[in-house]
Structure 1
Amino acid sequence: MARESLASRPQKDALLSRRYIEGLIAEGRHVFIFDNRVIKADAFIKFHPGGEKTVKHMVGRDATDEVNALHSKEARQRMLSFQIGRIEGPWVNFLPPIQGGKFRSYQEEDPSIDDDSSQSSHPPSPVFDAVDAKPGIRRRKSTSTDTSVSTPPSEDFEPKPFFLDARTQQEIVFDKAKYPSLDIANQETIRRKYRELDQRIRDEGLYECNYFAYFIECCRYTLFAVLSYTFLRLEWYGTSAFFLGCLWHQLVFTAHDAGHMGITHDFHTDSVLGMIIANYLGGLSLGWWKRNHNVHHIVTNAPEHDPDIEHIPFFAISHRFLTSLRSTYYDRIMTFDAFANFMLRFQNYLYYPILLFARFNLYRLSWEYLLKGQAPKHGPAWWHRWFEVAGQAFFWYWYGYGVLYCTIPDWGSRLTFLFISHMVASPLHVQITLSHFAMSTADLGVNESFPQKMLRTTMDVDCPTWLDFFHGGLQFQAIHHLFPRIPRHNLRRTQNLVLEFCRDTGIPYAIFTFVDGNKEVIGRLGDVAKQIYILEECRKSAAQDLLSDHH
């Protein structure tokens, strides 16, 4: 049998060697494993509603659990049309190129390469084949074996002090001691039990939406809207702004559900619901949030990759941000400069004041997403950008022009209304950061299973049932990260099953009260602030030693 080449189009059921898959990735192909199938995502990566980077972080990895967690059954079925082969047995993950992975180009004469079929079993697709060479034309082998997008340390930045490296290693050692072994067989057992848990959840109907619960939610939303409008007409502007802020705070929870297709489970229906709530009623882009949030669900709490913890120069939850890391999400250096040095020293004191105004930053990010063309231009979500732009225009017409300018008579009252309405919604930002800021940011390697990583980097908040409306499901973030598409009104019922799973696998389940969770976050921010002082003392000591040597 002739050896396979990268130019060939193997059958969908052909057994592909690990070396062959590595060669595809070395050529820049976006290949990952899903349910023992090899999926080549080049044809749909630009159309992916969740953005390209979520796919890039799965290249070379077994993405079965991530794909199942974040996609509908219909989406997973469509994904199978991009299958190019299959594998046998457990897959040892590669480090994806976006995270710095290195890959060797494929060489036909390499004796380590297994024989595989070289025939294609499916007809050419105009979309799929646009990425590949035309049928019958042999592709050139890559001349480079390095597909890493990681950046070497810049000459503009000093090498990081040794104690920062020591702290990184200390955190890794601590997590390895606290969590189950990263042995491949052990992690495979955790994956198997996680999938069994998912099936049990499905059998118990916990993926089915409780629409009566949403009727109650809509009654609450209507009450806040009516109260805000009534007090606006009575010229009680501060009170009106308060209830508008309450409405925004509550609406975001439903937009979050819709973004995860947790309401109707239909992509377009939930997307429209989410965009109406986020854009037309709240002035925020659901598309931006999905692009950001899906990456967060894939690489949770990774300092270089997770945009939800990349808040330099205002917050740093890991000492690693003190080394001017490069963000793969924003594709820029997160510079630890003089301003960041100053702000981060007081971050534990500035945490709540800054979050009071966090919504203004979300406006900026939303418009940046829409104006810079970061939204999908093709595929099922091609029209979302224009629907969202119309929503932004509608929001600023009714809120900015209709309420602030036309209804409120003077600038003092306008500013009062503006700030109160935004500050009242600020508990949302505390709720979002609470579940991650105090958790691990250590990288335990590519073989850590999806469920273990989610439970290691996410905590839950313990609260009485009657307060569930206030937290909006975000108090069950660890459970939500394990099963993002479970409707939030079913998360409390799911908690007992997850606790049983954690006891069975030995994975610690982090849960704090709201007060204790806030203490943990403030403590983490204060710990990093102290490390900045240590870093500064090290630099001063090094400078003095240098002066002494010269004398």
Structure 2
Amino acid sequence: MRDISRREIEGLIAEGGKIFILDQFVVKADPWLPYHPGGDKAILHMVGRDATDEVTALHSAETKEKMSRHRIGRIQGRWTNFIPPIQGGKFRALCDGAEAEYDDHPVSSSPSSSHSRDPSPLFDSDRPTLRHRSGEGSLPSSVSVTSVSSVEEDDGMAHIDSLTREKISLDLEKYPPIDHETQDAIVAKYRLLNDRIKAEGLYQCNYGAYAIEVSRYSLLFACMLLSLHWGWYALSGVFMGAVWHQLVFIVHDAGHMGITHDFYIDTYIGTFIANFLGGLSIGWWKRNHNVHHIVTNSPEHDPDVEYLPFFALSHRCLANLRSTFYEHVMEYDAMAKFCLKFQKYSYYPIMMVGRFNLYRLSWGYLLGGHAPRKGPAWWHWYLEIVGQVVFWSWYGYGIIYKSIPTNSGRFAFFMISHVVQAPLHVQFTLSHFAMSTADLGPHESFPQKMLRTTMDVDCPQWLDFFHGGLQFQAIHHLYPRIPRHNLRQTQKLVQEFCNDVGIPYALYGFVDCNKQVVGKLGEISRQAAIFAKCQQTISRDSVLVH
């Protein structure tokens, strides 16, 4: 297999090729893009990058072997990542010039550098660039608004850009340097840890734990039916919500092929529970969740942190960001300005109705033409539609309409069964909402990015059933296919890894996690107020000048 130069790879991407690096081989993903069960977005975020760790974390060895059919060459030496086109990277066609020299600067570079993108007013100015740690001209924590060049001063964007520089500087001070030597050492130890985890059998599913869980689900469902029979509709709704709360954890396992590790069997399990028993789309979840695992906590790219107008998790959301997942601009409009004032107070009430948003997203996926209609997942859409019909037949018609005689009882059962799941939605957001949303550039390694954007929730072992094992989100993001019943055992190994490489391991108790999240929401509200004052001042000064 021939060697392919960096310049040639750039040219192929400029022509529209979906090219990434996997184990030193150049892979062209174009042929299977429409067939990918996890959607096209996850692949698009890997274009121009070394995707070895991301692919290994999210796919089985068998799936990786199938990818080898799409190799078109190999590279020599270390690969320096491009910024993917979906993230704004710009690529030159082969006819545009000869082989270019690439700057391996960890954050700042010129348009012809390894970033291959348009100049940035933040990182490509003539001002001193961000460096890491002492002796390298690190940016002070209080960045002046006037230190940002090429910024539209008339709308207060300088304030947002100065905050962006400050957040990046804080992360560069807290985490290991974003240079090739340091990041390569982290990756090497991360891969060795994966070998150790395999050797200790932590990828093997604990089916005994599932037997206990099935007994728990059956008991809760029986309590729901019994309460319904006795006319205790509110209590019945509580049990129904508890069943859904617990079943979601199995769907999560199946979506990551963490139960049988067989694509078809785990897909059947996930589809049956998500669609037939829960009324949610497993296909939507996979498409959403795979992207979340790759671009975690990125305000522009991660759908799990894109909640405007109700929440903003980054000051950058005040600048009308464009979501690459939803393909629309998240406007910081009057509605968003109003909601963000109170977001630390509205957080829990909105989490109480979070399941209704999941219905919306599921049906948007199923009716929006996003499901793969070719390849190994061609049948998923049809099975999911059948599952939706079955769900609303037994839940909507069979229970709510036929089994409950009064409208007040129906309303109580319906609302309570959904509101009871508020702790579940809080659980899913705790591990990310308070963590960093800064972008340290394409040279940051996969394990460092996951640990920088994810925290774990500390709790006693007897409470694992309530959190579903997913309180270990940092560990899960490092190794998504480890069955969740084994995450507590894996925790000690990950802590040793973090101590060894110098990456802070974020671990907070449940109460402290909530305080962190509410505090972060309050901080963004304050930044929104400052931003509004900047705009008012600039507008007033502009009027006086004219």
- When the two structures are superposed, what TM-score results if normalisation uses the length of structure 2? 0.90
SS at match of 1:490: helix
Distance 2:162 2:245 in 1: 41
Query: 1:545 Cα deviation (Å)?
Result: 1.5
Query: 1:227 Cα deviation (Å)?
Result: 0.3
Whether 1:167 and 2:163 are equivalent positions in the alignment is yes
Please point out which of 60, 73, 76 is paired with 1:72.
60
Contact 2:154 2:539 in 1 (8 A): no
Which letter maps to 2:335?
A: F
Q: Give per-residue Cα distances to partners, 1:467-506, cap 9 Å, x unaligned.
A: 0000002100000000000000000000000001001100
- 2:320 paired residue number: 324
Note the 1:257-296 alignment, pairs <5 A.
257-296=253-292
Query: 1:177 Cα deviation (Å)?
Result: 0.6
SS at match of 1:451: helix
Whether 1:460 and 2:456 are equivalent positions in the alignment is yes
Whether 1:17 and 2:5 are equivalent positions in the alignment is yes
Note the 1:389-404 alignment, pairs <5 A.
389-404=385-400
Distance 1:186 1:252 in 2: 38
- 2:30 paired residue number: 42
- 1:334 paired residue number: 330
Query: 1:160 Cα deviation (Å)?
Result: 4.4
Which letter maps to 2:43?
A: V
SS at match of 2:94: coil
Which letter maps to 1:59?
A: V
Q: Give per-residue Cα distances to partners, 1:285-335, cap 9 Å, x unaligned.
A: 000000000000000000000000000000101000000100000000000
Query: 1:161 Cα deviation (Å)?
Result: 2.5
SS at match of 1:85: strand
Please point out which of 459, 462, 470 is paired with 1:474.
470
- 2:493 paired residue number: 497
Whether 1:102 and 2:90 are equivalent positions in the alignment is yes
- 1:245 paired residue number: 241
SS at match of 2:190: helix
Query: 1:148 Cα deviation (Å)?
Result: 7.4
The 1:271–1:111 alpha-carbon spacing in structure 2 relative to 1, beyond 3 Å, is closer
Contact 1:67 1:76 in 2 (8 A): yes
SS at match of 2:89: coil
Whether 1:191 and 2:179 are equivalent positions in the alignment is no
Structure 1: runs of 5 or more not aligned: 1-12, 114-145
Structure 1 stretches (4+) deviating beyond 4 angstroms?
146-152, 156-160
SS at match of 1:515: helix
- 1:380 paired residue number: 376
The 1:74–1:99 alpha-carbon spacing in structure 2 relative to 1, beyond 3 Å, is same
Distance 1:87 1:515 in 2: 49
Distance 2:15 2:161 in 1: 33
Query: 1:163 Cα deviation (Å)?
Result: 1.4
- 2:47 paired residue number: 59
The 1:354–1:474 alpha-carbon spacing in structure 2 relative to 1, beyond 3 Å, is same
Contact 1:179 1:508 in 2 (8 A): yes
- 1:525 paired residue number: 521
- 1:206 paired residue number: 202
- 1:81 paired residue number: 69
Which letter maps to 1:511?
A: L
Please point out which of 446, 449, 454 is paired with 1:450.
446
Query: 1:385 Cα deviation (Å)?
Result: 0.5
Contact 2:7 2:99 in 1 (8 A): no
- 2:310 paired residue number: 314
SS at match of 1:39: strand
Contact 2:432 2:454 in 1 (8 A): yes
SS at match of 2:90: coil
Distance 2:460 2:329 in 1: 42
Contact 1:99 1:150 in 2 (8 A): no
The 1:159–1:545 alpha-carbon spacing in structure 2 relative to 1, beyond 3 Å, is closer
Which letter maps to 1:506?
A: G
Contact 1:172 1:442 in 2 (8 A): yes
Contact 2:255 2:270 in 1 (8 A): yes
Query: 1:110 Cα deviation (Å)?
Result: 3.0
Query: 1:109 Cα deviation (Å)?
Result: 7.8
SS at match of 2:402: helix
Which letter maps to 2:401?
A: Y
- 1:121 paired residue number: none
User: Aligned-pair RMSD on alpha carbons?
Assistant: 1.9
Contact 2:155 2:538 in 1 (8 A): no
Q: Give per-residue Cα distances to partners, 1:371-409, cap 9 Å, x unaligned.
A: 111100101011001100000000000111111111111
Distance 1:383 1:526 in 2: 45
Identity between Structure 1 and Structure 2 (%): 59
Query: 1:112 Cα deviation (Å)?
Result: 6.3
The 1:355–1:530 alpha-carbon spacing in structure 2 relative to 1, beyond 3 Å, is same
Distance 2:157 2:96 in 1: 45
Whether 1:305 and 2:287 are equivalent positions in the alignment is no
Contact 1:28 1:147 in 2 (8 A): no
